[in-house]
Every structure is written in C-alpha cells, then in structure tokens.
Structure 1
Amino acid sequence: MKLRAGVLLLWLAGACAGQTLGVLSKAYQAKPTAANRAALARFAAAHARDGQGGLAQLALAYGDVQAAKGAAAGAAGAGAAEAARKAAKAVPALADYALFLEAQALRSADAALAAERAMQVVALPGLSPMDGQALQSAAWALLGAGDAEGAVRVLQPNVGLLAGPTGGVLLGRALRGAQQLGAAALQFQRVYFEYPLSSEAGEAATAMAQLRLQLGSGFPPPLAQDILGRARKLISGGLGKRAVQELNEAIPELGGPEGDVARVLVGVARYFENENQAAVNYLRGLRVGSDEADAERLYYVVQGLRRLEQFDEAAAVVEEMRGRHKGAEFTMRALVALADAHLVRNEPERFVPLYGACAQLFPKEERGAYCDWKVTWQAYMTQRAGAARRLEEHVERFPASAKAGAALYFLGRLREQAGEYGVARAFYEGIVARFPNSYYSVQAEMRLADGKVKQARAAAVTVQYVRGLGRAASGGTKPDFAVDAATRTRVERARLLEQAGLSEWAEGELRFGAKNGGKGAALAKELAEMAARRGQHATAVRGIKALAPGYLGWELSEAPTAFWKLAFPLPYREALAAEGAERGIDPNLLAALIRQESEFDPRAVSRAKAMGLTQIRPATGRDLSRKLKLGRFTVGMLYQPEINVRMGAYYLRWLLSGLDDRYEAALAAYNAGKTRAVRWLDWFGHDLEQAEFIECIPFTETREYIQIVLRNADVYRRLYGGGPVAAGGE
C-alpha cells in the first residue's frame, strides 16, 4: 500500500514537471551532448526532494548508456552507474529498470558486479519486461570477463527467458567457452535451423563447422525435420537457390518420406524463384513414395501450371489429386488456387465446380467455408432457384464464418424484395446485434432506416432463427476496463517511465502487462492515451489493435468514447474538412481511408514505396503536384500531412469522377488500380447495389479493404458527426 501511494505521489508531482523532464530526457537521447546532459542533471538536482529527481536520474542513466554505445567503452559508464543507483533508491517501483541500466554501465569496468546487478533484476519478485534483457546482460558481462562457466550458471536455470536467435547464440557461446561442446553444438543448431534468415544464423553456421571438427563422430547429427524446416524458411524468405544447394547436399543422407519431401522442396524452391516451367518439368518427372510428399508435389505442379495459364492441364492434375489424395490439405489448397484463378478471370463455369468440390470435401475447414460462400454467392447473383436456401445453409453450417453477416444481409434483401418487410427487419436487426462495427451492420442500419422496413414489426420466427444460429465470430466477449491490482501496477510503472521520457519502455511495460495477467482493454487505453499525447496516433491505433484485438466486436456504448476516439483518431481535422468540401467528398471517408492506409502515420512507407497519410507513390505524387500547382515536386512533400491529404483527396475525386461517383468503385481503384475497377464494373454491371458489387470483387484484399474503409467512415460519423457515406448504386 505504501509503495502504491508513493508511486501515485510521484505521478502527481510529475503532472506539471513531467513534461519538462520528458522534453529534457528526449533531447538528451536524440542528441547526447554535454549541454543536454547538464540540463537534465540540473533538473535532477533541482527536484531531488520531490521525487522527480529519481526519474531524472533514471533518464540520465538511460541516456548515458545509449551515448556510450557510440563512444569508447566505458565513456559514460561511471556517470550512468551512479545515476542508476540514485534512481533505484529514489524510485523503488522501477528498481528493475535502474538495476538493468547500472549493469549495462558497469559491464566494461566491473563485469562481476555488472552480472550481479543484472541478476538482481531476474531475482526481484514478479515478472519484469527487463528479465530477459537483464539475463543476457549478465551473461555477456561474464563472457566478456572470460567467465564462461559463470555465464552458463546464470543462463541454464533461466533458459525460458532467452528469446530468439540472440539468446541461443549467447548460450551456445557460453557452453562452448565452458567446454560443454556437445550442448553448445545443439544450441547453435537450434539457431541455425529455427532462424535461418537471422544474422545470428551465420555465426551459428561457423560455430557448427568448428565444433564438427572438434567433436568428430561425437557431433550431434541434425534431425531431418530440422533440415526440411530450414529449407522451407529459406524458400519463403526468398532464398530458394540457397535452399536448393543445401537440399541437394542433404538428400543423399535422407531416406524414406523425409528424402521424398526434400526432393519435392527442390522443385518448390524453383517455383518460388519464378522458374515456373522448370519447376513444373522437374516436379512432373519426380516420383516419390510418400503420400504427403506426393500431394505437395502435385500441388506445386498445379500452381506452376496456373502461372503458365495452362488451366486444362492444371485441372487434370487437380482431378488426379482428388482421386489419390482426397482428404489432403494440399488437395484443398489446389482446388482453391485453381478456382481463384478462374474467379479472377470471371469464369463461373469453371470456378463453381472447383469451389463446390472444396466445400464438399472439406466442410469443417476455414477454406471450406470460403468455398461454400463462393458457390452460394454465385447462386445469389445468377438468381438461381433456391438461392435463399443456399444462404440459409451457409449461415447454418458456418455461423462464425467471415461471411455469416453477408449471408444474413442478402437473405434480408431477398425478403425485402419479396415484400416480406418484417422478415427482412429481423435479419437486419440480427446483423446489427451479432456483428457490430462491421460493414454489413452499417448496411443493415441503412436498410432499417428505410420506410417500409422501419414500419414493419420484426417477424418473431425469424428473430428466433437468427438467435439460434450460435455465437458469431466477432461477438461474445464484453470489454473490461476495470483496473485490478496487476493492471494498476503496470499502468503506474508505465506512467513513471513516460514521465522520464522513456516512452519505448513505457509502451513495453503495458504490452508486457497485457501478456502477463493485466486487463488488455485498460492497458490498451493507457498506451493509446500516452501515444496520442505525443502526437503518435498510429502508435495509439496499433496499440489498441494489439492489446485489445477484439475491440471491433464491441458496441460503441460498451467502451468509453475516449477509447473509440483513440482507436479512430481525427488529427488534421481542418485539412480533411477543407479538402472534403473542395472535392465534394465526405471528410469521414477521407479519415477512414487514411486510417486504413497509414493509421495516421505521416511517415508511413509501404512495400510498394507509397508514402504518407494517404499512401501516394512518388510518380503519382509528381503528377498530382503538377495538377495542383504545388511547385517543384520533391519526395519529402509526401511526408507533409496537409500536402498529402490534398493529393489524396484530389486523386480520390478523380477516381470518383471516372467511376459514376460510386465510392465502392473508387475505393476498389484506389486499392487495386482503376483499370481493374472499370473491368469489374463492366463484368458485373453498373446497376448493382454497393454490397453486391463489393462481394463480386475477386480480390479478397480489395474486397475487404473497401468494406473496412466504409465501416471506418461509419464509425467516424458516429463519433464525430456528419452524414452517412453515399451508398452508391442501388
């Protein structure tokens, strides 16, 4: 109780002074000059008696340690160690952080004492985010002092704290130094096989080669599954040629099913290197005895033929798989891959039978639900007899599927078109209750506002039918923002760290708490509030997504409005309003698009090199700059929020003007390109209602992108006001 009161007093004392401390701390971290250190030290001295001095000492120690990394060994060690000791005494609630910093500062001057301080962190009661780092710090200090056996002694009882390849290499070095060569070989093998894409894998390979010479026949042979696992990771990481080389070296030593898989993976690697014809030829000529390996072999034959657009041959191989490997996962994947290829080409006569076979053979798999929906949707779009029953069967078989809300919505539309407004109302109300904050709940709300549906009484039988469908995937768990003891401790510690200008540690404390018994919703809100105060809205959004992953399944009334505004922030509001007014675009839609594109990170850069809030590529930006008469274009302009918003709004208006002013089509073009959006309108018809057009889009990413942006726009409207986004075609 005394500790909690002390922490509270520190936090209250820092409510005003903390901002100054944070500024001084961040200035020293960004630019570790003598002047910046002196300013922080003066603050610590001036606040020695009000508790803020302890946080300032912690900030000093942190800054000194960071500065020492770029200077001569031990350059800031003495000052950092002294500051850390003062911080531990003044702010016992953060003793683990202070001890860790002291250990870091002492490593070059007194390795034994550094290791002792680091292990004190691990020995403290409760779990700390610093436990793993402190353990590694202790071991590195001991290794640096030549005490490998001491490093082994601290590492082995706490091996669970060693995460990732860095910890594995550290333990391997310690074991090797302690002459436990067999155990060291196993550790290096673990890094080499489990983390082949890491920089540590190279060190592990070198160490393994040296240990193989030392141990001779005593060197532990790698397991076949480890060899195959490494090859798969190399292939997926874009290192297929290296995988082929290693597999060819290993194949003579592998027998049975493992050898079969290795030979198949040689062809898989060629496929991933885009050597499609070579991959097909190799895999077709390969003969393996293992059913699992043969199913994988045939699957990649199908994939290679698909890329080569040899669809008849691919279909023949799929039929072969259905006969020889009826229940294999690779058969399911082959059916979906070939069906998707025909879906993109708008060939229903070919994709419907393939999806149908998938749904029939794999009714309990997630892909089975996906396949069933494709067949169901095609029945709806072609107005085939029994379409309504197909929709009912889908939602009955897959009540938790991603398309359950869609099935209910289109059941409502069918009933509405038949004049059964009470039945339609029951379906729409069921969607709103089961799938809050979803695209189809937005559409259902719009239909419920229609005069005839609004005036009808929900059909009781249909209400019971919807209620009896079972739990929806997005619902069932109510948010809990209550702060229990474990959560309170994390929040208080994070606030102190934030006051000290140690924002990364503050966020780490909250994330660690969410994984170790804390209340995720409360911790997410705290993290988002901290980030928002710093103007880091993207960090706030990402924090909520990570710590409260089910938040979109909550009703808006179930969480504080402040929480929702953190999850759906509205910075640059004036720019959005101005550009929306000038371009005739709902500002809520612009905000919704930005949230999906960049999460309001003005420095965001995508894999495709799109930049800024609305994710404009440099070539597009140059063209837009000329049209908007912004002067000489530079890439840096894309990072300026107001300019980027102006470009994004102009570009979206241009797309709207060329696509019948349909938001759904313009968003499809924004995500997948205007050429595709025009093609889809021509394929599926310009008279489709919005939800129908979106469901027809063959790209899952684009389809979900449009639904998310339109859903986001509705949330923004409810939080900040404004009219609904236009529904598009009816």
Structure 2
Amino acid sequence: MRCGLWAGVLLLVGVVGSVAAAPGDDRILLARDAASKGDVATLASLAATPSNHVLEPYVQYWLLSARIARLTEAVDGQQVGSFLSANTGSMLADRLRGEWVRRLGYEKRWAEFDAQYGLLQQADLATQCYAIQGGGTYAAEANRALAAQWLTLNDVPASCELPLQNLALSGQISTENLWQRFRRLVENKRFAAARNVLSWIGNGQVPAAFNTALNSPERYLASARASTSRMDRELILAAVARAARNDARTAASRWRGIEGNSFSSEERAYAWGQLGWLGGLSRLPEAAAWYKLARGTDMSAEQRAWNIRAHLRISDWAGVRQAIEELPADQRDTPDWAYWLGRALQAQGQTDAARQQFLRYADTPTFYGILSTEALGRAYAWPAAAAPASNEELTMVRTLPDFRRAAALYQLDLRTEGMREWNWGLRGGSDRYLLAAAEHARELGLYDRAISSAERTRNEHDFSLRYLAPYYDVFARNAEAQQLDLAWVYGLVRQESRFQSVARSGVGAQGLMQVMPATGKWIAGKQGWSDYHPGWLTGIDTNVRLGSAYLRHVLDSLSNHRVLATAAYNAGPGRARRWRDARPLEGAIYTETIPFTETRDYVKKVMANAELYATLFDKRPVSLGSRLGTVPAAVQDAASNVDEP
C-alpha cells in the first residue's frame, strides 16, 4: 500500500534533470559565470546579441547589476529605466531597482532616489538609511523605522552609521537607551559598534579600559573597584557579561564580591540576568536562581526565553509559569510558551486553565501544536484534504513567466535564482493558486518548491504535498537494512534537503541526507565498504546508504534515543551528549533547552515531521510524546569513538 501511495511521485524522480538542454543554455551559463566574476566586458558582449531564451532577462540584468556595483564608473540611467519598464512586475526588476536606488543614494542623487524608492516592493535597511540621509519624502518614516530597531540592530550597513549617530547626538534617543544599546552590542560581541556608542556618550572619548574589560574580563574584574561613574560601572557589567561566556560560575563568584560597590538595583539585576542567561545556555542548575535575582532589568527576547528554559531544566514549574507570564504579550502568545504554560498550570493542579492553553494551538502541524493536541488526550489528525488542483488551475500556473523562468533556472542548476523566481511567483496567491503551484512543482520534480508552496496555504491544505515522500524505495530499503524508523528518516531528510538530490550546504554537506565528505568516508570505513569514493555523496542510492548508516551509528552510540540522534546528526554526537543532564530529562525539555538555536529548531521540526509522516504511512502512529520519550542521564552515555567525525 505504501509503495502504491507514492508510485506517482516516484515516476517523477529526476524529471528536471532528465530534460534535454534548451538551445541557448550555454550562453546563459557563460553569462552567469561572467557575472560571478564581475566580468563586464564578457557580459556586454553576450548582451549585445539578445535571444528569445526564457532566461534572456538575466543576461541583461547581470550586465546592469555589474555596472551598478562598479561605484567608480558611471551608469547609464536610461538603460536601467528601459530594463525596469520592459520587465515590470518581475523579480529581476525589483532586484535591479533596489540596487539602483542604493547606487543613487550612494551618489546622493536625491530627487531620482525618491522617485525610485517609492516603487520598491520593500526597502532594505541600507536603502532606508539612504532615505534618511536624503531628507526627502520618505525620510521621516525611515527614521522612525531605524529608531524602532535601536536595541535590536546588531549589524549596521555603512549607510546607517551616520543616521544612527544623528539619532544619538540629536537627543532623539535617551542616554539610558544609549546605555541599553551598548549592553546589547556587548552581549552580541559587536565591539566596534559598542565603542561607537561609548564615544557618543563620552563626547567623543572612549575609556582606555574598554579593550581590557571586553578582551580580558577576568583580569579587569580582579582589579575592579567601587565607583560613582556610570561609565566605570557599565564597563564592569560588560566584563561580567564577557567573563560569564567563558565560565558563568566563576563570573558569578567574582560578581558577588563586587556587586555591593555602588551599583544600583537595576545594574545588579542586569548582571544577574546575564549570568542567568549564559548559565542557562551552559545548562547550569544555578541559572534559575540567578534569574530570580534579575528582576527589574530589561532583557532581550532570547534572555527572557532562557529564563523559562532554566526553570524547565530543573522542573521548577512555578518558576516556568512566572517566567512565561512576565513575557511581553507578543512573545508570550506563541505555541511554545502556550504549551509550557499549560504544562506549568497542569503541574500546579489547574486543569481547566491548562486545557485552555493547550486548546490555543492544538491541531496545528507543528511540534508544539501536536504536543498540545496530545495533552488534550487525543491523537493529531491531518485536516481534510483540499480538492486537487484542477486542469484549469494547473494550466494557468504552468504558463506563468515566473514559474517558467524558475524551472529553466533549476534545469541549469542555478538553484538560488530558481528559488527566488518561484517564491516571487507565489506572492499574494490564494490557497487554490498555491496548491496548483505546489502540484506543478511536484510535476517538475522540484520537491523543495512543492513543499514550500503547499506550506503557505491558510485554509485549504494538502498534506500529501507538504509531506512528499519521493525516492520511497531507496529510503525504505536503507531504513530496513539499518533498522531505522522510516517516518523518522523521512522527517530528517525533509528538514535536511527538502529532497533536493543535488543540495549542497555552505560547509560542504551533500545530497539528500546532507552527508559531509569526512563523515561519508568515515562511515563507509566503519561499515567495511571498501569500494567507497567521493562520488557516493552525490548519488541518490549511495548518499542515502551513507546517511542511513551514519544515522544508525549515532542512534547506537546515544542510548538508541531518536531525539539525541537527531541532535547529533545536526550538531555532532559530542554536543548531543554534553547537552544531557545528571538526571533523566523529558525529551521535550531536553529539546527545548538545546543551546544552539539552529539545532533546537531542527530537532523540533524533524520530530514533528516524523510524527506527520508516520500519520501518513502507518495511520495509527505512536504519539509525538512517546517518540520524544525520556532522555537518559549523562552517566549512562556510551563511550564515543575517538575518530568520530
């Protein structure tokens, strides 16, 4: 039955890769190569003889984009305008307009800038800051947007440096908010920007002790003395925050010997908040107590979240409840904290109130949506499937220029450009339109785009498109050989590559299961596969063979626990082991307290995916709560392989 269910999908394997090259493809690839090198001469030569190729606008775009990027050379504005007019409404026109507007801002051509700025779909921060510099129609609105990001903006484009300084020196930002920005920049290791803020506060002067406080915080704290100067106290607080990154316990001990020295109650609370946050990230049981000393200081969203996690880690349900109830409304009203508030209320015997929290996000296809459903005593079930896309709906999306260009780009392995085109084509679409686009992507073998398109629907859903299962025979065969749960394997691969067999990550992981070269070679050796060669990483069968064997290995080395193995597959077995506790932990608590944001989200998505695939494959799967289980105590760890990648 399972094979029959996916037979239609399996017929599509390699559809895009099997299509014959279109006439003119070589010219497009030559242009793309020239664009990557900034070779304007070659681009100009290629653009001089336009063709009817569906990707012809890219040749023209790459040429104009390269010219705009050459800040020392003039650009023909009429050529830019002609391209924008000829490609009105396209993704390329919007991208080129954004680049052109930034160039106009750089050259301070403010009248032209304002005329083009108003036509942008959405201005990025660098462009907004040019609008502020220009002082034109959009300056006030852009200035308000910049001021709203005062405490959260870490990486500042060059065009924003002057507007930020003007905000600070004009009195639009209070002195207290200047200090708050300094703290946030130190916390995020943006030391050059933090130095700038100190210079604004100190009328151009930065204390000589600044570098020592941030680069040698333990030494700085060892000689710290009482002071009535805010500057001196803030440098001590910065040193405490920096020292806590290295060793939160030692930093806390050092801080206890200093905190009575003229610090205000808010300043003491800030230091304890930093220690609680960084202690929580290190999974120290003291972190929850440190957070209790932090009342009265403003925290970032991440720091407030770790207040909850620190109490979760020690099963302090009263502390969990208090930490959630103290969140700002926009952070509190989310599936994760609604679920944990429900659990805290449940632990305190408030069954009806807990039920109300679980009901808020129950029946949604997410990690906490599924757990909330199960907390109400029922199994998660997929919503009723929407009607399949009609022939008329499919015919319409098949002819749209955005999708035709996207398909051609994927055919040439220009996947980033293809993804951008596809996503542009989806904007503003109705549910019926999105489902038709998803089905069209499935027809093309663009499984990542099919999933992405189907996930955007709001009321009508087709989970068979959201949770495609291509290459079923390959995955089933390898899962059986390695005695792995097939639904879990599919859940992991959906998160790793979205079933793009040619996927390659920025760090070199390859193929459906995103196997690193060193890992592939190592696991092949462990399995005794003497015929291994690097080409295995890109082959569908061999990539799944390597990935499944490695997944089996991490599962065996981590107490046969799928949550631990999932974390290990993303972040490495050593980290997955270190994140355990001296006592057994509920799997959901272990997951929520993973210190790496990427890995924490990854584990949640993989485990939720596994449950949803199991719902499809098995009809009556085990619950997600059962899948998460209990993570054994760290003392039960299996010994790691010394040569393990």
Letter of the structure 1 residue corresponding to residue 333 of structure 2: A
CA contact 1:689–1:728 (8 Å) conserved in 2: yes
CA contact 2:309–2:593 (8 Å) conserved in 1: no
- 2:22 maps to what in 1? 24
State how far apart, in whole Å, the 2-side matches of 1:106 and 1:302 are.
Answer: 45
- 2:138 maps to what in 1? none
| Secondary structure class of the residue paired with 1:613 | coil
Matched, 1:299 2:262: no
Shift in Å, 1:532: 4.2
| Secondary structure class of the residue paired with 1:571 | coil
- 514 and 575 in structure 1: CA distance in 2 versus 1, 3 angstrom threshold: closer
Letter of the structure 1 residue corresponding to residue 277 of structure 2: A
State how far apart, in whole Å, the 1-side matches of 2:477 and 2:530 are.
Answer: 20
State how far apart, in whole Å, the 1-side matches of 2:260 and 2:34 are.
Answer: 67
CA contact 1:321–1:331 (8 Å) conserved in 2: no
Letter of the structure 2 residue corresponding to residue 404 of structure 1: A
Worse-matched range after superposition: 356-365 or 645-654: 356-365
State how far apart, in whole Å, the 1-side matches of 2:360 and 2:77 are.
Answer: 63
- 2:173 maps to what in 1? none
- 1:216 maps to what in 2? none
CA contact 2:269–2:294 (8 Å) conserved in 1: no
Shift in Å, 1:354: 1.2
Matches within 5 A, 1:138-149: none
State how far apart, in whole Å, the 2-side matches of 1:195 and 1:696 are.
Answer: 24
CA contact 1:395–1:407 (8 Å) conserved in 2: yes
CA contact 1:525–1:544 (8 Å) conserved in 2: yes
- 1:727 maps to what in 2? 627
Shift in Å, 1:580: 1.3
Which of 596, 607, 612 is the equivalent residue of 1:715? 612
Letter of the structure 1 residue corresponding to residue 621 of structure 2: P
Matched, 1:357 2:293: yes
- 1:537 maps to what in 2? 447
Which of 364, 369, 379 is the equivalent residue of 1:436? 364
Which of 75, 79, 91 is the equivalent residue of 1:114? 79
Shift in Å, 1:711: 0.9
- 1:406 maps to what in 2? 340
- 395 and 499 in structure 1: CA distance in 2 versus 1, 3 angstrom threshold: closer
Matches within 5 A, 1:524-603: 525=435, 528-529=438-439, 531-541=441-451, 548=456, 558-561=459-462, 564-603=463-502
State how far apart, in whole Å, the 2-side matches of 1:225 and 1:320 are.
Answer: 31
- 286 and 683 in structure 1: CA distance in 2 versus 1, 3 angstrom threshold: same
Letter of the structure 1 residue corresponding to residue 82 of structure 2: R
- 1:48 maps to what in 2? none
- 653 and 76 in structure 1: CA distance in 2 versus 1, 3 angstrom threshold: closer
- 2:603 maps to what in 1? 706
Which of 65, 68, 75 is the equivalent residue of 2:45? 75
State how far apart, in whole Å, the 2-side matches of 1:231 and 1:119 are.
Answer: 42
Shift in Å, 1:588: 0.9
Which of 385, 402, 421 is the equivalent residue of 1:494? 402
State how far apart, in whole Å, the 2-side matches of 1:321 and 1:600 are.
Answer: 59
CA offsets per residue over residues 510-532 of structure 1, 9 Å max, x none? 645766xx247667656655554
CA offsets per residue over residues 146-200 of structure 1, 9 Å max, x none? xx99x876445324568669989999xxx9xxxxxxxxxxxxxx9xxx99998xx
- 22 and 617 in structure 1: CA distance in 2 versus 1, 3 angstrom threshold: closer
Structure 2: any 5+ residue segments left out of the alignment? 1-15, 135-145, 147-152, 170-177, 380-385, 391-395, 631-645
Shift in Å, 1:718: 2.6
Question: With CA pairs under 8 Å and 6+ residues apart, which has the higher RCO, 1 or 2?
Answer: 2
State how far apart, in whole Å, the 2-side matches of 1:221 and 1:429 are.
Answer: 41
State how far apart, in whole Å, the 2-side matches of 1:527 and 1:413 are.
Answer: 46
CA offsets per residue over residues 484-504 of structure 1, 9 Å max, x none? xxxx99994424545776987
- 1:667 maps to what in 2? 566
Which of 261, 264, 274 is the equivalent residue of 1:324? 264
Letter of the structure 2 residue corresponding to residue 378 of structure 1: I
Matches within 5 A, 1:598-617: 598-606=497-505, 609-617=508-516
CA offsets per residue over residues 404-447 of structure 1, 9 Å max, x none? 213424655887xxxx9xx5998399358536223344446557
Matched, 1:655 2:588: no
Matches within 5 A, 1:161-310: 223=166, 243=192, 254=199, 256-257=201-202, 259=204, 266=211, 270-271=214-215, 277=218, 284=224, 289-290=229-230, 294-295=233-234, 297-308=236-247, 310=250
- 164 and 448 in structure 1: CA distance in 2 versus 1, 3 angstrom threshold: closer
Q: Percent identity?
A: 20
State how far apart, in whole Å, the 1-side matches of 2:417 and 2:347 are.
Answer: 51
- 299 and 448 in structure 1: CA distance in 2 versus 1, 3 angstrom threshold: same
- 2:274 maps to what in 1? 334
Shift in Å, 1:307: 0.8
State how far apart, in whole Å, the 1-side matches of 2:211 and 2:433 are.
Answer: 47
Matched, 1:313 2:253: yes
Shift in Å, 1:590: 0.6
CA offsets per residue over residues 52-98 of structure 1, 9 Å max, x none? xxxxxxxxxx9999999575474234421x759xx9xxxxxx99999
- 2:150 maps to what in 1? none
Letter of the structure 2 residue corresponding to residue 337 of structure 1: W
- 263 and 612 in structure 1: CA distance in 2 versus 1, 3 angstrom threshold: farther
CA contact 1:279–1:301 (8 Å) conserved in 2: no
Letter of the structure 2 residue corresponding to residue 316 of structure 1: R
CA offsets per residue over residues 454-510 of structure 1, 9 Å max, x none? 9xxxxxxxxxxxxxxxxxxxxxxxx9x999xxxx99994424545776987775456
State how far apart, in whole Å, the 1-side matches of 2:128 and 2:629 are.
Answer: 58
Structure with the greater alpha carbon radius of gyration: 1
CA contact 1:614–1:644 (8 Å) conserved in 2: yes
CA contact 2:308–2:319 (8 Å) conserved in 1: no
Letter of the structure 1 residue corresponding to residue 46 of structure 2: A
State how far apart, in whole Å, the 2-side matches of 1:29 and 1:158 are.
Answer: 31
Letter of the structure 2 residue corresponding to residue 711 of structure 1: A
- 2:283 maps to what in 1? 344
CA contact 2:187–2:241 (8 Å) conserved in 1: no
Which of 522, 527, 536 is the equivalent residue of 1:623? 522
CA contact 1:356–1:372 (8 Å) conserved in 2: no
CA contact 1:118–1:134 (8 Å) conserved in 2: no
Matches within 5 A, 1:87-102: none
Shift in Å, 1:629: 3.2
| Secondary structure class of the residue paired with 1:711 | helix
State how far apart, in whole Å, the 2-side matches of 1:102 and 1:607 are.
Answer: 26
CA offsets per residue over residues 659-712 of structure 1, 9 Å max, x none? 443322333443454455556666113xx6544554576666555443332111
The TM-score, its normalising length taken from structure 1, stands at 0.57
| Secondary structure class of the residue paired with 1:724 | coil
CA contact 1:336–1:354 (8 Å) conserved in 2: yes
| Secondary structure class of the residue paired with 1:591 | helix
Cα-Cα RMSD: 6.3
State how far apart, in whole Å, the 1-side matches of 2:290 and 2:371 are.
Answer: 30
CA contact 2:409–2:417 (8 Å) conserved in 1: no
Letter of the structure 2 residue corresponding to residue 439 of structure 1: F
The TM-score, its normalising length taken from structure 2, stands at 0.63
- 116 and 504 in structure 1: CA distance in 2 versus 1, 3 angstrom threshold: same
State how far apart, in whole Å, the 1-side matches of 2:129 and 2:319 are.
Answer: 56
Letter of the structure 2 residue corresponding to residue 623 of structure 1: W
- 2:544 maps to what in 1? 645
State how far apart, in whole Å, the 1-side matches of 2:278 and 2:358 are.
Answer: 35
State how far apart, in whole Å, the 2-side matches of 1:444 and 1:169 are.
Answer: 43
State how far apart, in whole Å, the 2-side matches of 1:693 and 1:65 are.
Answer: 46
Shift in Å, 1:714: 1.0
| Secondary structure class of the residue paired with 1:76 | helix
CA contact 1:344–1:699 (8 Å) conserved in 2: no
State how far apart, in whole Å, the 2-side matches of 1:537 and 1:157 are.
Answer: 40
Shift in Å, 1:626: 1.2
CA contact 1:104–1:114 (8 Å) conserved in 2: no
Letter of the structure 2 residue corresponding to residue 650 of structure 1: A
- 1:463 maps to what in 2? none
CA contact 1:611–1:639 (8 Å) conserved in 2: yes
